[in-house]
């Protein structure tokens, strides 16, 4: 059996067993090389483990000396059907897509296929395990050191791209004639699809494109996202393997997009540099705003990054505005590790009413907030300082636990009616 033409056996495990026996390798020998437990390998080869996670397959690729994309294919993470470009672009339009939209996406991508790009999502939200966050940070910090830009704020992305041997191919555009033809066929839908395509990377040519219609800070994040795809070795190897007959399974594609998003914020925040600077003083929206400008990261991304990384007891609620309607969407809640351990807001959902009231006050124009009197997960009374800000793209409310000596207020919270603070990030 060859790596390119494996036997038609059930599952990845039996294929690996046959491959190991052909190479006359012992189970413990492969396990040591792969860095996994030999008992796990035994279960896998027997077929007791149907579908190892991609992170395990990366290790197995080393142990069995098989290309990582081949193992992803064997495990069922790569499917046939729409091209990788088509599938990725369709994800921008959500689950509900009609035939006309599908036809447009295909025509749109056919018009720019000569660029050979694989389009990347830069808007997925979601959490990654701690060990995965640490792994991504290691790769990013290594690249920053290689670019001689570790500690340089704001991160010089051009210098980082040069170190990664990536080429800024320019703006992702359609020729006027191509756009005219598409508009003739599909009308305004062309512009709706185009506005959602933000960045692209051609892995074989090492070229990166950015949509020119994004605002500057968004461009920096999307560029960091594309660099992230390239700095993570499994992305580089796997996306180069895909062609017009192969695509990643949707859940794996989304995982890889979240990983690239994480790499982007690691690049822009210089690892934990942003967090360390934020922790020099009690966290407020003014502090976050100043750091957002210094690091050249959007207010929303800066606030989330700091709150998730800070050693302070903080929580952040963000309600984003819809890109087409401007209407506020349901809020997202982010908590520092110490805050969640102390108050359990995410686990219990106990603060939903308080958060909605605070967001409503910010929207209505409150500027000064009395501390909120709350109880922690042990029933102890606590006081939270509240701060809020509106940006063109979101409303943010910050909650920070005050020291014990500040818990002397006995009246319920209230807000002034002065105009809300507004920033332009």
**Distance between alpha carbon 16 and the CA centroid of its chain, in Å?**
32
Q: What's the pLDDT score for residue 124?
A: 47
Beta strands in 68-126 (DSSP E): 78-79, 118-120
CATH of domain 12-76: 1.10.260.40
Distances (CA, A) of 313 to 12, 133, 292, 316: 45, 21, 20, 11
- Please name which of 294, 234, 292 lies closest in space to residue 263, comparing C-alpha atoms: 234
Q: What's the pLDDT score for residue 414?
A: 43
Query: Which spans in 242-398 are helix H?
Result: 250-269, 273-278, 285-295, 299-309, 337-343, 345-348, 352-364
Q: What is the pTM of this model?
A: 0.73
- Check if the beta carbon of residue 372 is closer than 8 Å to that of residue 357: no
The angle that helices 84-91 and 250-269 make with each other, rounded to 10 degrees, is 70
- Check if the beta carbon of residue 119 is closer than 8 Å to that of residue 197: yes
Which tokens hold the place of 200?
A: 């692209």
pLDDT in tens for each of the 425 residues of the chain? 444 444 344 578 888 888 888 888 888 888 888 888 888 888 888 888 778 888 888 888 888 888 888 888 888 888 765 444 444 444 444 444 455 555 665 565 555 444 444 444 444 466 788 889 999 999 999 999 999 999 999 999 989 988 988 776 555 556 667 667 767 766 666 666 666 555 665 566 666 766 666 788 888 888 898 889 888 988 888 876 766 556 677 788 788 888 999 999 999 999 999 999 999 999 999 999 999 999 999 999 999 999 999 999 999 999 988 766 778 888 999 999 999 999 999 999 999 999 999 999 998 887 778 899 999 988 999 999 999 999 888 999 999 999 876 444 444 444 443 334 444 44
- Please name which of 315, 394, 322, 393 lies closest in space to residue 352, comparing C-alpha atoms: 315
**84-269 CATH fold:** Arc Repressor Mutant, subunit A (1.10.10)
Secondary structure of residue 328 in the 3-state scheme: strand
**284-406 CATH fold:** Beta-Lactamase (3.30.450)
- Domain spans, the chain: 12-76, 84-269, 284-406
């Amino acid at each position: 059996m060859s790596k390119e033409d494996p036997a038609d056996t059930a599952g990845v495990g039996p294929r690996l067993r046959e491959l190991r026996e052909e190479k006359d390798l012992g189970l413990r020998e492969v396990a040591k090389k792969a860095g996994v437990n030999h008992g796990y390998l035994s279960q896998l080869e027997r077929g007791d483990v149907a579908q190892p996670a991609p992170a395990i397959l990366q290790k197995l690729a080393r142990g069995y000396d098989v290309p990582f994309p081949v193992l992803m294919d064997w495990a069922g993470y790569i499917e046939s059907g729409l091209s990788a470009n088509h599938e990725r672009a369709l994800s921008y339009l959500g689950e509900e897509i009609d035939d006309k939209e599908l036809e447009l996406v295909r025509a749109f991508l056919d018009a720019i296929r000569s660029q050979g790009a694989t389009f990347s999502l830069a808007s997925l939200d979601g959490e990654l395990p701690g060990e995965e966050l640490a792994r991504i940070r290691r790769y990013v910090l290594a690249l920053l050191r290689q670019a001689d830009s570790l500690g340089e704020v704001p991160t010089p992305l051009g210098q980082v791209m040069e170190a990664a041997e990536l080429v800024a191919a320019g703006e992702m555009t359609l020729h006027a004639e191509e756009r005219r033809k598409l508009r003739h066929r599909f009308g305004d839908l062309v512009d709706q699809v185009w506005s959602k395509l933000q960045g692209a990377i051609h892995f074989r040519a090492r070229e990166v494109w950015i949509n020119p219609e994004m605002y500057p800070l968004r461009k920096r994040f999307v560029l960091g996202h594309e660099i992230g795809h390239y700095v993570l070795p499994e992305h580089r190897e796997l996306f180069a393997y895909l062609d017009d007959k192969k695509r990643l399974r949707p859940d794996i594609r989304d995982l890889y997009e979240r990983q690239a998003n994480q790499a982007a914020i690691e690049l822009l925040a210089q690892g934990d540099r942003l967090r360390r600077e934020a922790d020099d003083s009690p966290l407020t929206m003014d502090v976050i705003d100043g750091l957002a400008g210094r690091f050249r990261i959007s207010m929303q991304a800066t606030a989330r990054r700091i709150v998730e990384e800070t050693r302070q007891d903080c929580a952040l609620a963000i309600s984003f505005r819809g890109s087409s309607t401007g209407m506020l969407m349901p809020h997202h809640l982010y908590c520092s590790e110490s805050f969640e351990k102390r108050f359990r807001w995410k686990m219990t959902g106990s603060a939903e009413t308080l958060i909605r009231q605070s967001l409503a006050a910010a929207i209505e124009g409150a500027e000064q907030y009395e501390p909120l009197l709350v109880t922690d997960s042990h029933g102890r009374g606590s006081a939270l300082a509240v701060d809020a800000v509106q940006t063109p793209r979101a409303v943010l409310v910050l909650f920070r636990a005050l020291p014990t000596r500040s818990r002397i207020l006995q009246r319920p919270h209230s807000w002034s009616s002065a105009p809300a603070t507004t920033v332009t990030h």
